[in-house]
Amino acid sequence: MHTVVVGTSGVTASDVLAVARDGARIELSGEAVAALAAAREIVDALAAKPDPVYGVSTGFGALATRHISTELRAQLQRNIVRSHAAGMGPRVEREVVRALMFLRLKTVCSGHTGVRPEVAQTMADVLNAGITPVVHEYGSLGCSGDLAPLSHCALTLMGEGDAEGPDGVVRPAGELLAEHGIAPVELREKEGLALLNGTDGMLGMLVMALADLEMLYKSADITAALSLEGLLGTDKVLAPELHAIRPHPGQAASAANMLAVLKDSQLTGHHQDDAPRVQDAYSVRCAPQVAGAGRDTMAHARLVAERELASAVDNPVVLPDGRVESNGNFHGAPVAYVLDFLAIAAADLASIAERRTDRLLDKNRSHGLPPFLADDAGVDSGLMIAQYTQAALVSELKRLAVPASADSIPSSAMQEDHVSMGWSAARKLRTAVDNLTRVVAVELYAATRAVELREGLTPAPASRAVIEAVRKAGVQGPGPDRFLAPDLAAADAFVRGGQLVAAAESVTGPLQ
């Protein structure tokens, strides 16, 4: 099994994906253990002094003005975890919780939090054992970080609350720790706060969304190319020299992908005599511009994610010179903004895909295709309601594109008077990515049928590879009406599992 070694300088996106989705094991580097021990010495020295230090010997948030006596500090750390584990609603996905815990461990190992090495090791042990704390949908305002979700994770480290075992069964966390020989942690000064105070949930979801969107943007380039073929459109608009004079890198990449898929097609550029066209509709002609803008948005989001993955997000932080300083680095705005940007891009990509699907189904705009791609229009409805389903998904995507980060609800008696809502931005982006996959699947279903209905014209070799693969995957071709839901589900699985991209790349080579 792959092992991820956590040091003091952050982790990579591939590390997050390996732990969250693939169950990679985690080890702490010697450098990280040494940094943890050194920072802990600083915290212990401050804890022994009579002067109050935030997070070490005081209360939290609006209660930070109270100095906590030595004998009450362990209770304080337990209490902050218990009281902040206040989430409600459905459980979030296992991969999200694993990413959340792993990214908190990343910050702990930076040596800026003052957490003891044994606490960090317990975090790694819990992840390695396949134990997943129960974390709920609602509770985070994204500032100070993802408090409630992280608190539910910290509760498991204490042997309290509920968690899911490696067998998928939810049980008391204490029982699961005991079965795997893991001793619950007894939190000391600063540790409770350090386990709760970060952007880890929203960051983990950003990293996973970027991985999914990278595949989906390639998929959308492929389905756009297939729709162009089905509509007998022209591929001249994809010429590199046209995109070079508007040098957005994402646009050039999408155009190059479509051109690669369409290579040697006999369906492009026919512009029939009975429906003369000087230009294709925007949804066809501007496909690279829209998909390209989304790709460039992803590039910016990836840059933000990389910076955050290299960050130590906590408050207060232990500095190399021995100071323990309060700060605002836990604020989720940088991550929240790009999560919202990506939701907007996903909605627009879905919207243009739906417009191409609708064009394929409309006999007045499809340039010779049967109404709704039906076998016997009137007797058969064809893909009419498949487009309804796609339209409903696009409408939902537009609602999900409303930014969460534009909102703020003050909390903690106005001490935390401006919050990021980054967790909410991340949660709705996950839904958006899920629905975008379905929208692309419907376009794939319609476009492959349209291409097959162009009898006497040979599609591009890459298109033929896609059609052959999708038919083998259980998505049926043209014919009389049938129960459509299984076909659409199979198309969704084909896109979601990366088979669409793999089929096209078997001919084109790696797409951008």
Catalytic positions, please? 54
The secondary structure of 69-132 as a DSSP string is: PGGGHHHHHHHHHHHH---EEEEPPHHHHHHHHHHHHHHHTTT-S---HHHHHHHHHHHHTT-E
* CB count in 10 Å sphere of residue 310: 13
d(CA 144, CA 213): 28
Q: What's the rounded Cα separation, in Å, for the pair 209 and 48?
A: 45
What count of Cα atoms within 13 Å lies in the side-chain half-sphere of residue 309? 21
Query: Backbone dihedral region of 363: left (phi > 0), alpha (psi from -120 to 50 degrees) or beta?
Result: alpha
Residue carrying structure tokens 């990021």 = 420
CB 441 within 8 A of CB 394: no
Tokens of 77: 């750390």
Written as six digits, the tokens of 87 are: 């989430």
Task: Please choose, from the candidates 385, 30, 59, 346, the residue with its C-alpha nearest in 3D space to the C-alpha of residue 209.
Answer: 346
> What CA–CA distance (Å, rounded) separates 55 from 66?
11
Closest to 168 measured CA to CA, from 94, 88, 91: 94
The angle, 0 to 180 degrees and rounded to 10, between the axes of the packed helices 147-157 and 73-84 is 120
